[in-house]
Amino acid sequence: MSDLSHGDTEAPHGGDADQAAVNALRSAVMRLGRRLKHQRVDESLSPTEMSVLGTLARCGSATPGELARREHVQPPSMTRIVALLEAKGLVRLEPHPDDRRQKVVSQTEQAEAMLEESRRKRNAWLAELADGLDEDEWEKLRAAAPVLEKLAHL
């Protein structure tokens, strides 16, 4: 393995076996993610709308600008998304406590219930898939979960 602190330009984990593992990981995560997206409770919401609700659930209330940054979309797009979610009764807009020119977006109880049902459905689907694993595979998956979580937040 290279030591990047001494000026090496080669990245760690750069061998052919590591590249094959990275390729396999990317492919598997993408396929599993696509399959998970189909396990939705409310088909009327776009994946982006669901993502915004998930961000509000994880991070709490936020301004549309903060949501746009977290979701990697342009502010005008987020303004439209928030308006759609508000019209569906899934978010509410309230005055910003420090800046009256801004609004704060919060999820509603209806959104919380929908997200909980969505998590339940997706967890049940994943558990059903995991039933097909042997004990060694299941142990490896349990050990990999925190590592995947770390990668998701880097």
pTM: 0.71
pLDDT of residue 127: 93
Cβ neighbourhood burial of 107 (10 Å; 0-12, 13-18, 19+): buried
Q: Is residue 153 part of a domain?
A: no
Q: Is residue 44 part of a domain?
A: yes
Q: Is residue 98 part of a domain?
A: yes
Q: Is residue 94 part of a domain?
A: yes
Residue 86, domain CATH: 1.10.10.10
**What is the C-alpha to C-alpha distance for residues 40 and 37, in angstroms, rounded to an integer?**
6
Structure tokens that stand for 51 in this block = 């993502």
Q: Is residue 111 part of a domain?
A: yes
Q: Is residue 139 part of a domain?
A: no
Per DSSP (E only), the strands in 28-90 are none
**What is the C-alpha to C-alpha distance for residues 56 and 62, in angstroms, rounded to an integer?**
7
Domain count of the chain?
1
pLDDT of residue 14: 67
- Domain span holding position 95: 36-121
Structure tokens that stand for 21 in this block = 């593992």
Structure tokens that stand for 119 in this block = 């998590």
Cβ neighbourhood burial of 82 (10 Å; 0-12, 13-18, 19+): buried
Residue 147: helix, strand or coil by DSSP?
A: helix
Q: Is residue 9 part of a domain?
A: no
List the pLDDT tens digit at each of the 154 positions of the chain.
333 334 444 456 667 778 998 999 999 999 998 888 888 777 788 888 999 999 999 999 999 999 999 999 999 999 999 999 999 999 999 998 888 888 999 999 999 999 999 899 999 999 999 999 999 999 999 999 999 999 887 8
On the CB side of 15, CA atoms within 13 Å amount to 4
Q: Is residue 27 part of a domain?
A: no
Residue 62 forms beta bridges with which residues?
Answer: 105
